[in-house]
Structure formats: C-alpha cells, structure tokens
Chain A
Amino acid sequence: MTHTDNGSLEILNVGAGHLKIEFNKANPAEVARAKRMVEDMLQRGYAIFVHAEKGRLLPVRRFDPKTAAYIVEDVPGVEEMAREHPVRPPKNGRRTRRIPMATAKATVVGRTAGG
C-alpha cells in the first residue's frame, strides 16, 4: 500500500489540472470534511482509486463512514496488503478489503463521456 502519515485525495479538475485535498488523521475536522467529500463523490458517480504498491490502483466500491475506510475490490498478489488487512469473505463473487482513508492516497475521476 501507498501509506502516508496523512491521507490525500487528488481530484481531476477542469480548471486546475487537479485539486489536491490532504487531511491530517489527527485532525477530526479535516477527517470529517474528507469523509463528507468521499461520500458525496461516490453518490455523484465519481470513480475513486486507492494507490497500491507497484503502481496498482484499487477501485473503491463503497465507503464506510463509521470506520472511515474505503472498501476496495481485492486484487490478487498484493501481499503487503494481505498482511495488513484481512481478506473479507467473497460477496457476489468478489473479495473486498477495507483501507483506512486516513493513510491512503487516492485519485478521483469524475463521470466520463465517451468521445
């Protein structure tokens, strides 16, 4: 996993190239704002990807606001993650993992249109 002391969201943005939102896990106000943003973006159809090692990107399927964790689809072969986060039983044929938002780096892409 790409773990940092702080979590971050980089949102591809029309005017700015991208917006970078960093939040300190020790600051409840910053974490609360980031939680609200993530929930809102998922509702609006944004695609969120958590950065993992070897350049892998894990798609966020859901978000648990109670534990402030991304629920991502499991990618086989991510050994480091397997040690840190237990694999959940498959649901609908897909394994998921929980990644704490406060230490993850994520890239966000808005709804797309085919050209």
Chain B
Amino acid sequence: MGDEERGPLTWAQVRGALQAVALERDEWAGYPMPIRDFPLRLNPRQPMAAMLQGAYFEGEKIRGRDEESAPSPTVRNEWYSHRYQARVMIAEVEGRLRALMVPAVGTRNTLTINTLGVAASPAWTAEAEFTAMEKLQALITPHAWTCYVLTGGFLESSDRSGVVYFFRKLRPTLALKATADGSDTKILAALCLHPIGYYEQTWAGVMVPTDDVIAHVTLMRGDEADFWRQANQHPAWVPEAGI
C-alpha cells in the first residue's frame, strides 16, 4: 500500500506500538500513554521518565513540561485554612512575596472533571479495565466484589495493624481506625499511589482504574508499611483526598 493510501494513525495503533516497544525493551508494565492536556507524572526512577516525564499532546505535537516557559512560583509556606475552605500559600512571584488562595471546592471539582477527561481520552480501554476487574474479583471476597461493582469501593481490614482500608476506584484509599472509645472511626489518611505514574491534576493513573485498586490491595496485604511509605498521604480535608 502506498503512503497516500494510508489513513492517519489511530489511537489504538499508537497504544499498540507503545506496548510493543515496551515489551521489546523488557518493560513488562508497559509504557504510559501521553494524552491531551494532562501531563504525565512518573516515578523519576522509571527508565522511561527521562523521555516521558511531563509529556502531553498539544494537537498532534507531543510536548513536555520542560518546554513550558512560564516559571512556577516558589512556594515558601503552605497550609490549609478551614475558615476559608482553601489552601493558603505564601509564594514568591516575580521577586515579591504574595499570598495565594486555592479554594478546595474548585480544586475538587477540577480533579473530578479532569479525571473524567482522562476516561474520555485514549489513555485506557474498556477491555483492559474488564481484564483488571476479573483479576480483582479473584483477589477479594464475593461480598467485597459486590460492593465494588455497585459502588466502586470496598472495605478490607489489616490483620497486622487493625487499620480498615476503604479501597476506591479513581480515588485515594482511605485508611480508617476506630476511635479510642470505639464509638466512631477516624480517617488516618487518604493514600494516593499509582503503578508507573499518573496524569497531573487528576485522580487517574496511567493504568486502568481497577489496576490501581489491585496495586493498593496487593501492596497493603503484602507489605503494609511499604504501602504507606510509597503512597502520598493526604489529610482527609484536602481536595486531593477525594472526600
């Protein structure tokens, strides 16, 4: 077939080519798929990080974070204001210190909509999600599986620590513990972690949503301390906790 008869590449072909190259290079977990608008954020020790860190599509061109010219402000201090329901930052902007406020509700909505944006992109396929769901079903109890199918989440307690984990699709896992008098539970942290990497400003990992859940369950059961060490531990009240 001549070049003029070939149509433009489809996303499925791009995904297939990336995975073929990854397997050829013995990258068993595969290469993440750059998409429009949401830059990739990878573990810096990943071999592909040098090539794909911050990568995203702008039209048909692939861009990286390093190409962006506007320098980000240097944050000197940062805290959460319950009064304003916002993150307050003291940052150096153009040589002067300024106070910035990032409202929590706006950020939460942004994360929710952006995560939907990743689902609408070619990052994942329904087939891969169904494959991951089959594996998850084999890992958890039938009751937990029913909860997951119906709500996108399930509970599992750790024999070692007594912590109850609320595993959730496309949200950080909540670590819960009973209060001292046993009358209530408190959220210790929202644990955010993705195998290989994730898309910035979203709750979406580069793997399909249920693969992220499998990774959380596997790490919690296999090495709970390491799960906490590797995860980003968000307090319950910040938007990134997804509550």
B18, B22, B195, B222: the one contacting A112 at CB < 8 Å is: B195
Asked if B193 and A114 sit within 8 Å, CB to CB, the answer is yes
Contact stretch, chosen from B39-47, B54-62, B180-188: B39-47
Asked if B197 and A113 sit within 8 Å, CB to CB, the answer is yes
A-B contact count (CB 8 A): 136
Q: Which residues of A contact B45 (CB under 8 A)?
A: 45, 111
Q: Which residues of B contact A73 (CB under 8 A)?
A: 223
Asked if B41 and A18 sit within 8 Å, CB to CB, the answer is no
Asked if A115 and B205 sit within 8 Å, CB to CB, the answer is yes
Q: Would you call B221 an interface residue if the criterion is a C-beta within 8 Å of the partner chain's C-beta atoms? A: yes
A16, A44, A107: the one contacting B30 at CB < 8 Å is: A16
Residues of chain B from 165 to 190 with CB closer than 8 A to chain A in the complex:
172
Contact stretch, chosen from B71-79, B87-95, B123-131: B123-131
B29, B43, B193, B230: the one contacting A14 at CB < 8 Å is: B29
Q: How many of chain A's residues have a CB under 8 angstroms from any CB in B?
A: 33
In the complex, A45→B47 CA distance in Å? 11
A18, A109, A110, A113: the one contacting B132 at CB < 8 Å is: A18
Residues of chain B from 18 to 65 with CB closer than 8 A to chain A in the complex:
18-19, 22, 26, 28-33, 41-43, 45-47
Q: A46-B28, A115-B193 are in contact. Are A58 and B222 (CB under 8 A)?
A: yes
Q: Would you call B207 an interface residue if the criterion is a C-beta within 8 Å of the partner chain's C-beta atoms? A: yes
Asked if B127 and A14 sit within 8 Å, CB to CB, the answer is no
In the complex, A84→B226 CA distance in Å? 28
Q: Would you call A30 an interface residue if the criterion is a C-beta within 8 Å of the partner chain's C-beta atoms? A: no
Q: Which residues of A contact B131 (CB under 8 A)?
A: 16-18
Contact stretch, chosen from A49-57, A62-70, A85-93, A96-104: A49-57
A11, A59, A111: the one contacting B222 at CB < 8 Å is: A59
Q: Which residues of A contact B47 (CB under 8 A)?
A: 44
A14, A15, A17, A56: the one contacting B135 at CB < 8 Å is: A17
Asked if A112 and B215 sit within 8 Å, CB to CB, the answer is yes
Q: A12-B211, A110-B29 are in contact. Are A56 and B128 (CB under 8 A)?
A: no
14 A-B residue contacts at CB 8 Å?
Answer: A11-B29, A12-B211, A13-B28, A14-B206, A17-B130, A17-B208, A47-B218, A57-B218, A59-B223, A108-B28, A109-B214, A112-B196, A114-B231, A115-B240
A-binding residues in B (CB < 8 A): 15-16, 18-19, 22, 26, 28-33, 41-43, 45-47, 125, 127-132, 135, 139-140, 172, 192-198, 203, 205-208, 210-211, 214-215, 218-219, 221-223, 226, 230-232, 240
Known: A16-B128, A58-B222, A115-B240. 17 other contacts (CB 8 A): A13-B207, A15-B30, A16-B30, A17-B128, A17-B130, A18-B135, A18-B214, A46-B28, A47-B218, A49-B221, A109-B215, A110-B196, A111-B45, A111-B46, A112-B215, A114-B192, A115-B172
